[in-house]
Structure formats: structure tokens, C-alpha cells
Chain A
Amino acid sequence: MSRARRRGNRIAKRALLYIAVVIVCIIYVFPIYWIFCTSFKTRAQAFNWPPLFIWNPTTRNYIDIFLKRQTEIEAITGKVIELATGAEVFFYNSFMAVLGSIALAILIGTLAAYSFSRYRPKGTDTLMFFILSTRMLPAIVVAIPMFFFYRKLGLYNTIPGLILLYTMFNLPFAVWMMKSFFDEIPIDIEQAAMVDGSKPLKIFFKIALPQVYVGLAATLGFLVINVWNEFLFAMLLTEKTTRTVPVALAATRGEVGINWGLLAAIEVLYVIPAIVLIFLLQKYLLRGMTFGTVRGV
């Protein structure tokens, strides 16, 4: 093949590649783009046919999330009843529950993972499987007993209660991933330190932990994906004061049916931090998976 022809082929292949990438991105992003657009539409604009790609945007929905909202009744009876929505509480609750549970899960999970990896206490395999099995349960089974449980313990409708629950959701991921990362790094340095008489805890913090920072970042990323959108338990175990955003999304179905604009706006606000976080952690997500699980489970 002539050199020119080969170059021609390469350019063609390159072009095809870019086209494929663009098409793929469009397919995956379009629904999200549509949600984003809907958040700037009024209800009338949202239901137009043909669907509007160009319209007069409004920020009413975003304002409605936090500030007073007027009801439709005003248009008819002339009576104004303004009702506050107070969605800032939902965002606050969600962030607290997610960040708190991730921090706890990483702390507890990493400690446990280190122990499983290095010391292999009796029953390690069973315990590891046991911790993983919590992920297999259909959540509904645990839901009703959990409701009674939480009420008895006074954890119902509390943020700490929610944090505790989400920590439990996060533990399997945290323990399994961190164990794989610990399994990866050579034990020699720690053994050397042991011989030299260092305390085990110091070895953990000074030697083992620094080597798995990449793993920590990867775990962080996956845990975020794990609990960011939890719905069922949040719905059952909270009332208005501790409600999280996913439950609030379901609550937008009110007297006007589904409030599409408001729903879109809340979702957009809620998903942005997650997207930012994952974007920054992208590199580690990939490296983390390689590190951890290429060896197998």
C-alpha cells in the first residue's frame, strides 16, 4: 500500500472515530440535556407540540425551589395563598447524609479491610462474604423491620440515623475495594517496620495508608455513585424535616400532577456536585479498578 493511501486510511479511521464519539455522546447526553432545558421551561412550554427546542427561558423553577410559591387558585378566586417550599433543607440533609456516610464507611471500611488483608483473622472469607451479601438483599424486605427498629431506637427522622444507614450501604463497597488495594501493595515494608518494633497502628497510618491513596479516591467515587440517589429508605425513615432530595423529587408530584419544570430544576441542582466530583475523580476511578480487581475477587 502506498504511503499516501495508508495516510488516507488513517485519516478516514480518525474521522470515523470522532463521528462515533460524537454520536455516542449525543445519545447519552441528550436526555440529560432535555432535563436541563425543561428546567427553564414553564409547564405550557414543556408540553408544546412540536416540542420546543427554541423558547423563552424562565428561571421561575429555580426560584420556586427555595422561595415562596403561589398556587394556581389565585388565578381563579383572587385569593393569594403563598406557600414556602424550603427546599434548602432537602439539599442540606442529602449532603449531610451522603458525605457523613461516605466518610464513616471509608474510615470503618478501610480499617476492616486492612485487618482482613494483613492479619486475616479467623473467618475472614465468611465475614467478607457476609458483608457483601448485604448488597444482595431486596431492600424492601429490610425496610419494614428497619422502620420499627429505628422508631424504637429513636433514630427515626434523624440525620444521624440516616447517616448510619447509608454507612451500612457503603460498607460492602468500601471493604471489598480497599481490601483489594491493600492486597496489591507489597507487605515487605510493613514487615520491616514490624521487625523494627513499630506499633501496628502507626504502621497502618504511616506506611500502609499512604500507598493506597489512589484506592481511596476510587472508593470515594464509587461510594458517591452508590448513595447519591438512594430513595426507598430515605422515604420511609424521614419526615419533612429530614427529607432528602431524591424523596423531594418524588414529592413534586402534587396538585398539578407532575411539576416537570420544578422536578428538572431540582434534579439539575442536585446532580451538578456529583458530576463535578466524578469528573475530578475520573482518573482514579479507572486506575482504582485496575489496582483492585484485576487480580480477581
Chain B
Amino acid sequence: MTRQATSRIRRRSLTEKYFPIILITPAVAITLFLVIFPLIWALGLSFYDYNVIRGGVMRFVGLDNYARLLSSRTIWKRFVTTAEFVVSAVLLEFLIGFGLAFLFYQQFRGRRLAMALVTMPMLIAPVATGLFFRYIFDATHGVVTYFLYLITGKHIKLLSEHAMLSCVIVDVWQWSPFMMLFILAGLEAVPRHLLESAEIDRFSWFTKFRVVIWPTIRPLVMLALLFRTMDALRTFDTVYILTEGGPGTRTELISLHLYRLAFSFFRTGEACALAFILLVLVILLTNLYLRMARRVGV
């Protein structure tokens, strides 16, 4: 594969001065309009003590909301729970995605159909996924409970006693195909001739992987990890419907807590502050990824 550099086109006429700007204007305008204004409004609000439904006086409290959130033991517990969820889910998706990618790398009859089947979970609405897995895992009526009953003779209460596991399973079921797609794409992009020469040189499987395969797929894997982590951090629908943060607070993710702050308690100022803390966290993660990707010399 030859590298193509993107070079600057020599500016020659007036149209080229404005043409690029015109092209990007709609995109930037929409983003500005629909994202930045609300964001700034929300940022401003995070410095006030305001309850949107109780109205009343908006008290300016500066960084009080942030201080209260960052020093609250409850918030830290939520972050830990969220980390537990995100790490387990993304890790499992990574491993399973890898396995699936290698599986589908082989050529076999019905490969296309099988792949279509395996990518279907991504297309089911999270509301439907949450509700149906709740139904399937239900300790009294669920079909998975039934299978477990046939094996163990007991009604296993998946959603109460193994709540985090249930949530992780649902997320992995729905999104491991996503990982698989990315990794598979990378695998297919590995230059055939390099693989062949590695074969000829009798490299061990491990070395082959390390030297030939990994460098090619690494950027895709990183991208997939990035997207999945960002999305896992924002997971709300499925977990809310599956366990509603229960039992107790065992699966209460930070996104659930944010939702409650915003829409149950209507502590709007605080909710905005928490959202920005989350945003900063995600930006940090993204920058970390970008730095690592650049270091690989991609």
C-alpha cells in the first residue's frame, strides 16, 4: 500500500479562497447552533443553584456544585460502579470481538449470512433490548431462567442476585459485533504478502501476530475501543430498564444518577455540573487515545 500525502492545492483564484469555507459552513453552523448554545446555557447553569421546576430565585454559587459533587462519597461510588461496568463490558467485548473476528476471517459457506445474523443485535432498539432481556431473565417467567432451571433445578434470580453480570451480558451481546466488525476489517487489511512471507519464514503464530497483524489492526482496535468506551460511559436506557440501578444501588451507573438529578429531583444546576465533569472525563480519555495512536506512528 502506498502512502498518499494530502498536499495543499495551490490557491489560484478567488473562488478557492471562499470555496473551502463555504463547504464547511453548514456543518460548523449546525454544530454551533444545536450544540454550542445549549452547552453554554448548561455550563452557565452549572454555576447556579437552580431547580427548574420549583423556579424561584437562581442563586449564583460559583464552583459550589462542582465541589459538592467531587467531594460526595455517593458520586465516587457511582463512578466506581460505572468503571466496573465499562471495564467489564468493553474488555469482554474486546476479547469476544477478537475471537469472532478470527472466526469470521476464515472463509466458509454461509459466511455472509452468519455475519449478518451476528450483527443484528446492534440494530435492536435499546428500549426493546432492555425490556426483552428483562423478560428473558425474569426469575419467574424468563426463558433463560428456564434453561438454567433445567440445568441446575433452581430458579436463578439473574436480575437481583447477578445484576451487574446481567447488565454486562446485555451490553456485550449487543455491542461485541461492533468490535468484531472493526477488528475483522483490520484483519482483512493485513497485507497478504507479508502474511505469506511470515509463513515461509516459519514464524510462530505469536510472532506472526505481533509483527504482522497487530500493527495493522492496532489503529482500528483503538478506534473501536474509543467509541465503545465513550458509549459505554453514557449507557443509560438498557441498564435503567433492566435493573433500574438495583438491587439497592449495585448497578446505579453515573448516567442513571445524572438522569435522576436532572429529571427526578430537578436539581438542574447540579445536573449540569455533573454532566460537564463527565464531559471533561471523556475528553481526557479521547486525548489519551489520540496521543497513544500518534505515538504508534500511524
Q: A residues bordering B, Cβ < 8 Å? A: 14, 17-18, 20-21, 24-25, 27-29, 31-32, 34-35, 38, 46-47, 49-51, 108-109, 111-112, 114-121, 127, 130-146, 149, 164-165, 167-168, 171, 175, 183-187, 190-191, 194, 199-201, 225, 228-229, 231-232, 245-246, 249-250, 258, 260, 263-264, 267, 270-271, 274-275, 278-279, 282, 285-287, 289-290, 293-297
- Given the known interface contacts A25-B118, A49-B140, A141-B275, the answer about A183 and B6 at a Cβ–Cβ threshold of 8 Å is yes
- Given the known interface contacts A142-B35, A142-B38, the answer about A24 and B100 at a Cβ–Cβ threshold of 8 Å is yes
- Given the known interface contacts A140-B259, A258-B131, A294-B189, the answer about A149 and B124 at a Cβ–Cβ threshold of 8 Å is no
B61 within 8 A of A: no
- Given the known interface contacts A28-B121, A134-B31, the answer about A111 and B26 at a Cβ–Cβ threshold of 8 Å is yes
For the residues of B in contact with A, the DSSP-based class is helix
Please determine whether B9 and A164 come into contact, CB atoms closer than 8 angstroms: no
- Given the known interface contacts A111-B23, A116-B24, A136-B230, the answer about A225 and B275 at a Cβ–Cβ threshold of 8 Å is no
Please determine whether A109 and B125 come into contact, CB atoms closer than 8 angstroms: no
Least distance between A142 CB and chain B CB atoms (Å): 5
Please determine whether A140 and B271 come into contact, CB atoms closer than 8 angstroms: yes
B296: chain A residues at CB < 8 Å are 296
CB closest residue in chain B, given A114: B23
Please determine whether B258 and A108 come into contact, CB atoms closer than 8 angstroms: no
B133 within 8 A of A: yes
What is the count of residue pairs linking A and B with beta-carbon distances less than 8 angstroms? 268
Least distance between A255 CB and chain B CB atoms (Å): 17
B119 within 8 A of A: yes
Please determine whether A171 and B27 come into contact, CB atoms closer than 8 angstroms: yes
B81 within 8 A of A: no
Please determine whether A131 and B293 come into contact, CB atoms closer than 8 angstroms: no
For the residues of A in contact with B, the DSSP-based class is helix
Interface residues of B in 261-286 (CB under 8 A from A): 262-263, 268, 271-272, 275-276, 278-279, 282-283, 286
- Given the known interface contacts A111-B23, A246-B127, the answer about A34 and B132 at a Cβ–Cβ threshold of 8 Å is yes
Which of B112, B117, B223: most chain A Cβ within 10 A? B117
Assembled-state Cα–Cα distance A179/B36 (Å): 23
Please determine whether B258 and A165 come into contact, CB atoms closer than 8 angstroms: no
Please determine whether B124 and A32 come into contact, CB atoms closer than 8 angstroms: yes
Q: B residues bordering A, Cβ < 8 Å? A: 4, 6-10, 12, 15-16, 19-21, 23-24, 26-28, 30-31, 34-35, 37-39, 41-42, 52, 100, 103, 106, 108, 110, 112, 114-128, 131-133, 135-136, 140-143, 146, 173, 177, 181-182, 184-186, 188-189, 216, 219-220, 223, 230, 234, 236-237, 255, 258-259, 262-263, 268, 271-272, 275-276, 278-279, 282-283, 286, 290, 293-294, 296, 298
Please determine whether A29 and B120 come into contact, CB atoms closer than 8 angstroms: yes
- Given the known interface contacts A267-B124, A271-B124, the answer about A47 and B114 at a Cβ–Cβ threshold of 8 Å is no
Least distance between B145 CB and chain A CB atoms (Å): 9
Please determine whether A289 and B9 come into contact, CB atoms closer than 8 angstroms: no
B125: chain A residues at CB < 8 Å are 228-229, 231, 245-246, 249, 267, 270-271
Least distance between A29 CB and chain B CB atoms (Å): 5
For the complex of A and B, 4 pairs with smallest distance between CB atoms: A296-B298, A119-B20, A141-B275, A115-B23
B278: chain A residues at CB < 8 Å are 138
B52: chain A residues at CB < 8 Å are 144
Least distance between B3 CB and chain A CB atoms (Å): 8
Can you name 8 A-B residue pairings with CB atoms under 8 Å? Answer: A34-B136, A108-B30, A141-B262, A141-B272, A184-B4, A263-B131, A267-B128, A294-B186
